[in-house]
Amino acid sequence: MPIRVAVPHETTPGERRVALNPVVAEQLSRLGVQVQIQAGAGCAAYYRDRDYTTAEIVEDRTALLSQADIVLTVSPLVPEDVALLREGTLVIGFLHPHEFDDRIRALRDGKITGFAMELVPRISRAQNMDALSSQASIAGYKAALMAASRTARFFPMLTTAAGTIRPAKVLVIGVGVAGLQAIATAKRLGASVEAYDVRPETREQVESLGARFVDVKVNAVGEGGYARELSEEEKQQEMEILAQHVAEADAIISTAAVPGRPAPKIITSAMVDKMKPGAVIIDLAAHSGGNCELTIPGESFGHELVMVYGPLNVPAMMPVHASEMYARNLFNFLSLIVHDGELSPDWDDEVVAGSVLTRDGKIQHELTRERIEGGQS
């Protein structure tokens, strides 16, 4: 009997993505596996059950999960769902190793092998499996559109019967994947863009997109290409230089984040007080507390005639392409562990080993294990 790959309906409020779109489901079937989709799983992403022509549509969620060999998901399964899985089942998706401890414990205690897409090593061989980057690019694109639609000014320069309108000034804070896409999109919309990051090596990337780099003379390169946490002295230096650029911006898109930690507070309430009336802040770091001191996750509000918006789960706002890109990432990862219709992961493979969150009743990811178990193995 071929191995069963199950795709359940996402239950997290506001989650509109689905782990497999019809095209990738068909590609997966060619690997010799049986793809099973819970009825209606793709509807929020505008995929109908009948579009999954090579998959079996299963009405009963309990039956789907209890018979699965592999479960593909966007959000981590709740403990009640994990309890339905057989020992040794593989769960692959965004498993949030830095939060949702109850769900991670459920995977551990159920002896479920959990592969967290967040843990896929950032090496060239695994670029096509980097779901964090694929989804971050969507968030950056969407953030630029949000800023353009919410600011009180045009993004591009316009020549009108009333004279020339100067382009809006956009400041992007954090030059990771989301930040770079925000820069590129804001530039395409005609804005005058500048960007800031504590990693000076990002200057070349910023300038290659036609934006100006804001240099605050601080180098905070950390592990894995992420920024490290700044010292108090470095924070003060950063704030003093950045404050002027914040005051001049018509729109700010902030994306700075440190995995597993609260987002750094970069935009103070005092800075917002000095912004132009009608300006807008789109805080993509809202999920981890926000880069702006005033950000309220999931809410949009005005402060001294400046709009502050902390959107959550932005990729889910574009569910068609978000699901398509995520499904491709999952397919590329599955190609590492499924061969000729058989499940055969190479546990010595750097990508496979580095992506494991739980296996054989243990939490394999060291930082997650230390947080949940105090370092006990």
Known active-site residue 208: no
Known active-site residue 47: no
Known active-site residue 122: yes
Q: Which of 46, 60, 101, 127 is catalytic?
A: 127
Nearest to 243 by CA among 266, 211, 213, 265: 266
Encoded tokens for 21: 């779109």
Known active-site residue 288: no
Tokens 């990337």 locate to 205
CB atoms near residue 100 (< 10 Å): 16
Q: What is the Cα–Cα distance from 129 to 328, expressed in whole angstroms?
A: 8
Known active-site residue 135: no
Spatial contact of 172 and 253, defined as CB atoms under 8 Å apart: yes
Tokens 């470095």 locate to 234
Q: Which of 66, 67, 133, 335 is catalytic?
A: 133
Label residues 162-193 b or e (16+ Cβ within 10 Å = b). eeeeebbbbbbbbbbbbbbbbbbbbbebebbb
Q: Which of 48, 86, 122, 166 is catalytic?
A: 122
Tokens 């802040």 locate to 281
Question: Regarding beta strands 362-363 and 34-38, do their DSSP bridges make them parallel or antiparallel, or are they unpaired?
Answer: unpaired
- Rounded (5°) CA angle 111-113-114: 120
Nearest to 28 by CA among 6, 46, 8, 9: 6
Q: What is the Cα–Cα distance from 64 to 59, expressed in whole angstroms?
A: 8
Q: Which of 34, 36, 38, 130 is catalytic?
A: 130
Q: Which of 203, 226, 300, 371 is catalytic?
A: 226
Nearest to 256 by CA among 179, 143, 171: 179
Which residues have a catalytic role annotated? 122, 127, 130, 133, 226
